[in-house]
Amino acid sequence: MEKSQKKFNYLALIGMIGAIVGPIVYYSFVHFNICDIGFEFICTIAFYIITTIAALVLCIIGLVRRKKYTETGFIFSLIGIIIASILSILIVIDISKQPYYYWTGNILSNNSGSSYDYDYDYDDDDYDDDDYDDYDYDYDNYKTPVQTKEEYISECQAYTYEQIARRPDDFIDKKATFTGEVIQVQEVDDSSIVMRVNITKKTYQYIDSVTWSDTIYVTYTYGSGESKILEDDVITMYGELKGSTSYTSTLGSKITLPKFNAKYVTINQ
- Residues comprising the chain, all counted: 269
Is it the case that residue 239 has pLDDT exceeding 70? Answer: yes
Non-local CB neighbours of 260 within 8 Å, separated by 6+ positions: 176, 178, 216, 217, 218, 219, 237, 239, 240, 241, 242
Q: Is residue 96 a contact partner of residue 253, using CB atoms and an 8 Å limit? A: yes
d(CA 5, CA 13): 12
Closest CA to 53 of 25, 27, 19, 90: 19
SS3 (DSSP) at 99: strand
Non-local CB neighbours of 229 within 8 Å, separated by 6+ positions: 182, 185, 193, 195, 220, 235, 265, 267
Mean pLDDT, the chain, integer: 80
Closest CA to 19 of 98, 90, 93, 71: 90
Q: Is residue 182 a contact partner of residue 231, using CB atoms and an 8 Å limit? A: yes
The residue-averaged pLDDT of 218-242 equals 94
Most confident of the ranges 3-17, 52-66, 78-92, 148-162:
148-162
Query: Which long-range CB contacts under 8 A does 119-122 form with residues at least 24 apart?
Result: 119/221, 119/261, 119/263
Give the pLDDT score at 190.
Answer: 84
pLDDT by residue (tens digit) across 186-210? Answer: 988 888 999 999 999 988 777 777 8
Calculated CA dihedral for residues 20, 26, 27, 32, nearest 10 degrees = 140
Question: With helix as H, strand as E and coil as C, how does 206-244 read?
Answer: CCCCEEEEEEEEEEEECCCCCCCCCCCCEEEEEEEEEEE
Give the pLDDT score at 155.
Answer: 95
CA dist list (Å): 143 to 91, 134, 146:
59, 19, 9
Handedness of CA 229, 232, 234, 239 (dihedral sign): positive
Closest CA to 261 of 202, 207, 213, 218: 218
Which overall architecture, per CATH, does domain 124-267 show? Beta Barrel (2.40)
Give the pLDDT score at 120.
Answer: 43
Where do runs of H (alpha helix) occur along the chain? Answer: 2-31, 39-64, 72-97, 101-104, 149-154, 161-166
Is it the case that residue 213 has pLDDT exceeding 60? Answer: yes
d(CA 214, CA 52): 29
Q: What's the pLDDT band for 244 if we cut at 50, 70, 90?
A: very high
The residue-averaged pLDDT of 94-112 equals 70
